[in-house]
Amino acid sequence: MALMGIATLDVDGFTQRFIESFDQWTLEQKQEGLAMLGRLSTAKGVAFLLQLQNGSSGMPLSSELQLDVLQALTACKEGLLEDDMRFQVLAATSLTDPNYRRMLISGGDPAKGQETYEGHVLAQCGRCHEGGGEGVQAGPVLDGIGGRHDPLYLLESLIDPSANMAQGYENWQIVTAEGDQFFGRLIKQTSESWTLHSADGMQHVLPVQDITESKLVSVSSMPPMGGVLSAFELRDLVAYLQQKK
């Protein structure tokens, strides 16, 4: 977007043109421009963000942009928002807030979501959901998941994976006679041994005679992604998963 190129060279000019022509920009341009308003933090830009937020701008704010406006406001420099308004903005970004969750399921970029899925260093989605093939991996195969579940379910499975555990992917905690503890998915059970697949990709074959305690636990091997991914990464990842139908 050529307009973004002048943002740091002519802050006031960028702000004026972006606001005046807001309805003319594409969704991607609007999202990029709103983020820029937050970073630049001019009085006029922040006032426009607040108008969009409270509905007084005269421009209906689509669901695809609600997260962008909120995140732009959180990025504003200190002093440009009244203390009570800053508190309200920050409080509105809680993952327990149903309104905030709805913001995270609209406006995402599937291509960016795929990049997060395939390459995020901390999330490492593919290690559990693709590694090893169906039947021996730590998490369920995701092919077709967008056709089986709605976007809100997908989001909730990311931020609270223990609440929506896929059938067959429950975890067991095993304690052996020597005091060793193992945690993972039970992929094979015979009269002689249990085989667990742990989140690190390892398989542990445990002789039945060595098992002193076994317990089915309702805790997912997957960490809550709300503490790993940014709000935009979550939104893009949901959009990517939605396309897997």
Q: What confidence tens digit (pLDDT) does each residue in 57-107 have?
A: 788 889 999 999 999 999 998 888 888 888 999 999 999 999 999 999 999
Going from the C-alpha of 244 to that of each of 89, 123, 159, 237, the distances in angstroms are 33, 19, 19, 11
pLDDT at position 138 over 50: yes
The pLDDT value recorded for residue 136 is 53
Show Cβ contacts of residue 139 under 8 Å, excluding neighbours closer than 6 positions. Answer: 128, 129, 166, 169, 221, 222
- Domain range 171-217, CATH architecture: Roll (2.30)
- pTM, entire model: 0.85
pLDDT at position 149 over 70: yes
The pLDDT value recorded for residue 4 is 67
The pLDDT value recorded for residue 127 is 78
The pLDDT value recorded for residue 139 is 76
The pLDDT value recorded for residue 1 is 52
Sheet containing strand 193-197, edge to edge, reads: 203-207, 193-197, 181-189, 171-176, 211-217
User: What are the boundaries of each domain within the chain?
Assistant: 2-93, 110-133+143-159+222-242, 171-217
